Amino acid sequence: MSRGFSLLEVLVVMGIISLLLSILLPAISNMRRGMNKLKCASNLRSSAFAFQLFSEGESEGGQGDSEQLGRSAFFINDFQDSLYRVDEFWDIGGATESALDTSNTTMLCPSGATDLTKRKGFPCGRSAIGPLEDVTLAVNMRLFRAVVRVNGRAFLAPPAVTQVERRIINHPYVPLMLDVDGREAARRNLDPFYIAPPLAGTDDPYSDGRYWLPSTRHRGKTNVVFVGGHVLSSDRLEEENWNWAYQARVRRR
């Protein structure tokens, strides 16, 4: 005749299982976070490689409106459009909307939101990509809106006259893209597609930190990819010896 388990034996087994789970779950969670950080870094490297091709005029889908500028310069927003495949780079035929997720775009950090929606007929911005809270990667805003000085006052130049020179490739330590806090950007009613830090000792429209919204989703650190293609992580971005001061040129019409 078989003997069943006593209540004490059941409780001991449950205690052992609970102990094992308490040991294994944090390890699995840490492993998952580490894998997500590596995947984010891989996405950023892919985007940097695409940037190098785009700047050389060798990207498969062309350069969009930037082609009117010739071979020496381009608009960074056209590059951003090419990454999301929106506006003139739309790739879903007659569809007016399409889902973006971590399986079909490099523009999502797997440690953040895992899907977005893109809409046909708009350049990269809140009309084209949403929800804003789920945007996870941003481009260096000084490549999108450079600072100009007029009569001693500093202003942000419009994107239409801010052009990235092809020779930016000769400046490998210029930050190109980084993790962004889309939720905080939405709270401030800002588009999270472009961000830039204030510079020490510089008085300009970036100085108040309004456009500085990095995310520290990787264990308190932010992933940054540079024009040269390398990725670094830091919890003190503004203090790093990186070329944040580089900006696009402004061509007045």
Q: Domain for residue 157, yes or no? A: yes
Q: Domain for residue 104, yes or no? A: yes
pTM for the structure as a whole: 0.86
Q: Domain for residue 130, yes or no? A: yes
Please tell me the predicted confidence (pLDDT) of residue 190.
Answer: 93
Please tell me the predicted confidence (pLDDT) of residue 3.
Answer: 61
Q: Domain for residue 3, yes or no? A: no
* CA-atom Rg of the chain in angstroms: 23
Please tell me the predicted confidence (pLDDT) of residue 104.
Answer: 86
Q: Domain for residue 72, yes or no? A: yes
Q: In the chain, how many domains are there?
A: 1
Please tell me the predicted confidence (pLDDT) of residue 225.
Answer: 97
Please tell me the predicted confidence (pLDDT) of residue 4.
Answer: 60
Question: How many Cβ atoms are within 10 Å of 76's Cβ, its own excluded?
Answer: 27
Please tell me the predicted confidence (pLDDT) of residue 22.
Answer: 74
Per DSSP, 164 falls in state: E
Full strand arrangement of the beta sheet holding 97-101: 97-101, 115-119, 129-130
Q: Domain for residue 81, yes or no? A: yes
User: Exposed e or buried b for every residue in 30-52, given b needs 16+ CB within 10 A?
Assistant: eeeeeebbebbbebbeebbebbb
Range of the structural domain that residue 189 is part of: 8-250
Please tell me the predicted confidence (pLDDT) of residue 155.
Answer: 95
Q: Domain for residue 139, yes or no? A: yes
Per-block average pLDDT, block size 10, for the chain (253 residues)?
A: 64 78 65 75 94 92 93 96 96 92 89 91 96 97 96 94 96 97 95 95 94 94 96 92 95 71
User: Exposed e or buried b for every residue in 129-160, given b needs 16+ CB within 10 A?
Assistant: bbebbbbbbbbbbbbbbbbbeeeeeeebbebe
Q: Domain for residue 238, yes or no? A: yes
Q: How many CA atoms lie within 13 A of 239 on its CB side?
A: 3
